[in-house]
């Protein structure tokens, strides 16, 4: 990190010049943030192309330059329609909104007992025919799929997906260490929201057995998604991940719902009609003890990583931009401040307010 200047020509970073040491009053120039795991932002939900486009339109003030709208377990028909509609958006990008890189399917091949908030009628064993139909409909734009390694047929589907260029993220799982290794051998390279929906350690005769979260934490073959609100993953566990895996192996995500990015205290209706209120996290409006989901945005993620979790700004930029870019196979063209890469940039004030968001050299938000 240093004080300097960056110039842009023809959509790309043309020149970076170091002019001195860092200054506390200067704005940060970071690579634009990329969120590979988000279900909604603003009033928009990732259930359709229309929802995905709304998310990308709402997101630029949060420093977000790239997004993979994420859909949890759904019927085969709705999943197919979603990946098809997102594919159309990804293939004809609007240069004035956050780039829709492709879709992320969190399921439906998910272990019943670790399904978290997913509908129990919609999680199912891994089905090769359905997986092939999804790949065909997505036409190269399905970027991530979350699979539980222990469901029937998982090995074949993980293999099929990873060979087709889809990042397979293992999650919503209580799989054994052997099943985890099988998934890695079949092509899985990522872990879905580490610590959330994971089982704790078993203690036998006073001896703690390593749990799955422990095993994936020290497995450098796996990149770990981590929700950075300090609530879904308490600060101590974020620090544990930082020390055990290092920022290089962590992908900061929001896992946000529609309602994220609305002013604190706003209420927003959930899919079932109940109201939630946006505080530090989305809570049930009439029962604030009850956490509904995340209302993070990536600018808050960047701030939390530095001010609450002790990451350096460079580590925070890696986790919020560089590592997610690699996760959705965009690392060779974006996600870092390097000459020749697309000029995807977030300019952040010392108070962590987004001043400007730039996508491929084009300002998509200015304060
Ligand atoms: Zn999710």
29-75 pLDDT per residue, tens = 999 999 999 999 999 999 999 999 999 999 999 999 999 999 999 99
For residue 224, what are the domain limits?
A: 32-256+296-332
Q: Is residue 12 part of a domain?
A: no
Residue 271, pLDDT score: 78
Q: How far is the CA of 70 from the centre of ligand 1 (A)?
A: 7
Q: How far is the CA of 347 from the centre of ligand 1 (A)?
A: 27
pLDDT at 245 over 90: yes
Residue 85, pLDDT score: 98
| Average pLDDT score over residue span 350-360 | 97
pLDDT, tens only, 275-328: 999 988 999 999 988 888 999 999 999 999 999 999 999 999 999 999 999 999
Q: How far is the CA of 111 from the centre of ligand 1 (A)?
A: 15
| β partners of residue 204 | 207
Q: How far is the CA of 225 from the centre of ligand 1 (A)?
A: 10
Q: How far is the CA of 86 from the centre of ligand 1 (A)?
A: 17
Task: Let me know: does 295 contact 282? Beta carbons within 8 Å.
Answer: yes
Residue 89, pLDDT score: 98
Q: Is residue 337 part of a domain?
A: no
How many domains does the chain fold into?
1
Q: Is residue 81 part of a domain?
A: yes
Task: Let me know: does 292 contact 284? Beta carbons within 8 Å.
Answer: yes
| Average pLDDT score over residue span 255-272 | 91
Closest CA to 6 of 34, 36, 33, 26: 26
pLDDT at 174 over 90: yes
Q: Is residue 205 part of a domain?
A: yes
| β partners of residue 277 | 267, 283
Q: Is residue 95 part of a domain?
A: yes
Closest CA to 251 of 203, 197, 311, 177: 311
| Average pLDDT score over residue span 336-358 | 98
Domain CATH code at residue 250: 3.20.20.140
Q: How far is the CA of 168 from the centre of ligand 1 (A)?
A: 14
Sign of the Cα torsion 198, 101, 353, 345 reads positive
Residue 273, pLDDT score: 84
Residue 272, pLDDT score: 80
pLDDT, tens only, 1-31: 999 999 999 999 999 999 999 998 999 999 9
Q: Is residue 221 part of a domain?
A: yes
Task: Let me know: does 365 contact 40? Beta carbons within 8 Å.
Answer: no
Q: How far is the CA of 255 from the centre of ligand 1 (A)?
A: 5
Q: Is residue 190 part of a domain?
A: yes
pLDDT at 152 over 90: yes
Residue 180, pLDDT score: 98
The per-residue DSSP string of 196-263 comes to TT-----EETTEEPP-HHHHHHT-TTSEEEEE-SSSSS-HHHHHHHHHHH-GGGEEEE--B-EEEESP
Q: Is residue 183 part of a domain?
A: yes
Q: How far is the CA of 93 from the centre of ligand 1 (A)?
A: 24
Q: How far is the CA of 104 from the centre of ligand 1 (A)?
A: 9
Q: What are phi and psi of 363, to 5 degrees?
A: -70, 120
Closest CA to 301 of 59, 1, 120: 59
């Amino acid at each position: 990190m240093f004080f300097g200047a960056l110039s842009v020509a023809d959509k790309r970073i043309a020149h970076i010049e170091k002019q001195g040491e860092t200054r506390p009053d200067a704005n940060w120039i970071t690579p634009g943030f990329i969120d590979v795991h988000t279900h909604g932002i603003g009033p928009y939900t990732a259930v359709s192309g229309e929802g995905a486009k709304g998310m990308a339109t709402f997101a630029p003030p949060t420093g977000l330059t790239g997004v993979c709208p994420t859909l949890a377990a759904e019927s085969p028909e709705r999943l197919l329609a979603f990946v098809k509609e997102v594919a159309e958006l990804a293939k004809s990008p609007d240069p004035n909104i956050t780039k829709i890189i492709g879709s992320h399917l969190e399921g439906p091949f998910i272990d019943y007992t670790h399904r978290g908030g997913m509908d129990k009628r919609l999680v199912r064993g891994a089905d090769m025919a359905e997986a092939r139909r999804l790949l065909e409909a997505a036409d190269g734009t399905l970027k991530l799929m979350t699979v539980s390694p222990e469901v029937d047929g998982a090995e074949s589907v993980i293999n099929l997906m990873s060979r087709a260029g889809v990042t397979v993220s293992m999650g919503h799982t209580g799989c054994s260490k052997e099943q985890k290794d099988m998934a890695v051998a079949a092509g899985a390279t990522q872990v879905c929201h580490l610590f959330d929906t994971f089982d704790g350690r078993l203690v036998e005769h006073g001896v703690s057995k390593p749990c799955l979260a422990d095993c994936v934490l020290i497995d450098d073959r796996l990149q770990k998604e981590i929700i950075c609100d300090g609530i879904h993953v308490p600060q101590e566990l974020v620090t544990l991940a930082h020390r055990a895996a290092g920022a290089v192996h962590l992908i900061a995500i929001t896992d946000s719902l529609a309602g994220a990015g609305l002013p604190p205290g706003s209420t927003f209706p959930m899919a079932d009609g109940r109201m939630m209120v946006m505080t530090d996290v989305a809570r049930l409006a009439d029962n604030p003890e009850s956490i509904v989901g995340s209302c993070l945005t990536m600018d808050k993620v960047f701030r939390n990583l530095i001010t609450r979790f002790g990451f350096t700004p460079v580590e925070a930029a890696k986790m919020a931009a560089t590592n997610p870019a690699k996760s959705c196979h965009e690392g060779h063209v974006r996600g870092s401040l390097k000459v020749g890469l697309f000029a995807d940039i977030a300019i952040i004030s010392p108070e962590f307010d987004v001043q400007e968001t730039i996508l491929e050299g084009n300002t998509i938000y200015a304060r």
